[in-house]
Amino acid sequence: MASSVQRAFDLAAGDYDRARRRLVPGFDDFYRTAIDSIPFQRDDEVDVLDLGAGTGLLSAFVAYRFPRARITMLDISDEMLAQARKRFELGGDRFRFVVSDYADAVLDGLYDAVVSALSIHHLADAQKAALFGRIYAVLKTGGAFVNADQFRAATKELEKSHHGRWLARVRELGVGEKDLAQALERMKLDRTATLDDQLRWMREAGFRDTDCAYQHLIFTVYSGRK
Ligand SMILES: C[S@@+](CC[C@H](N)C(=O)[O-])C[C@H]1O[C@@H](n2cnc3c(N)ncnc32)[C@H](O)[C@@H]1O
């Protein structure tokens, strides 16, 4: 499964950023809530790991909010990370890039925050729960995990309604049919989980203060602290 995800994002890399605002209605609030959920001060020299960093979109918001942060961007797709390298090419050694599959890679280092956007929903449920445990292990005490992601509604009816409203909204926002078709094709690889399950796996991994700060259509932002 990881290799089809990798292929899908290798193919999407060049065009990825362009359609984001239309495919994620509420883009500003979604990413803003993720950044607001990182419980540190602007000038703190925090170490941050971004899982599924892609072209570095979430990391760019982190870098802007925390100008002294050192950010490690990890992704399975070399092509997506190539865009991130370009984005941060003037940033110096504050930025590190690691091509790796977080489903089974050893997560190196010790971090103040582990963040992720629109990525972990590609893992099977058991892998998500196991990943939460591995994230907990690389966080410093007091550190936080923030996941801004897609989720599955609690019932089939709700899921159908959320997905239908998302589709109507992205069309209203003027997404191109080609971008939409590619996104829908990639979404066939999604393995979303309910919010209840994900918050429970967080608590089982040891996280405290687990919280969902954002829920809109098919998107959520939740977090917890070590
Ligand atoms: C939709 S993109 C999101 C990129 C970025 N976080 C953002 O907010 O725009 C999902 C990214 O997760 C990466 N990804 C998916 N599964 C992965 C895995 N098992 N290990 C590492 N990266 C993965 C994909 O290659 C892709 O770059």
Query: Does the Cβ of 118 fall within 6 Å of ligand 1?
Result: yes
Write the residue with the smallest CA distance to atom 18 of ligand 1.
101
Q: 189 C-alpha vs ligand 1 centroid, how far in Å?
A: 12
Residue with tokens 């990798």: 6
Q: Report the nearest-CA residue for atom 4 of ligand 1.
A: 54
CA distance 147 to 87: 22
| CA 11 to ligand 1 center in whole angstroms | 13
148 lines ligand 1 (CB under 6 A): no
46-83 residue pLDDT tens: 999 999 999 999 999 999 999 999 999 999 999 999 99
R_g (Cα) of the chain, nearest Å: 16
Percentage of the chain modeled with pLDDT above 90? 89
Centre of ligand 1 to C-alpha 200, Å, is 23
pLDDT for the residue numbered 55: 96
Q: Which atom of ligand 1 is nearest to the CA of 123?
A: 19
Q: Which stretches does DSSP call E strand in the chain?
A: 47-51, 70-75, 95-99, 111-117, 139-150, 208-216, 219-225
pLDDT digits (tens, 9 = 90+) for 161-174: 999 999 999 999 99
Looking at residue 19, what is its pLDDT?
Answer: 85
Mutate to test the pocket of ligand 1, among 75, 184, 220 (most ligand atoms within 8 A of CB): 75
| Number of independent structural domains in the chain | 1
- Average confidence (pLDDT) over 81-107: 95
CA distances from 140 to 46, 66, 148, 216 (A): 11, 18, 20, 30
pTM listed for this prediction: 0.96
Tell me if 62 CB under 6 Å of ligand 1: no
**Contacts of 88-94 spanning 24+ positions with Cβ under 8 A:** 88/56, 88/59, 88/60, 88/63, 91/63, 94/63, 94/69, 94/70
Summary mean pLDDT of the chain: 95
- CATH number, domain at 51? 3.40.50.150
Which one, of 210, 208, 205, lies nearest residue 223 by Cα?
Answer: 210
Q: Is the pLDDT of residue 1 over 50?
A: no
Q: Which domain holds residue 66?
A: 2-225
Task: Say which amino acid occupies 211.
Answer: D
Mean pLDDT of 130-156: 98
Q: Could you tell me if 221 and 138 are in contact, meaning their C-beta atoms sit under 8 angstroms apart?
A: no
Residue 202 in this model has a pLDDT that exceeds 90 = yes
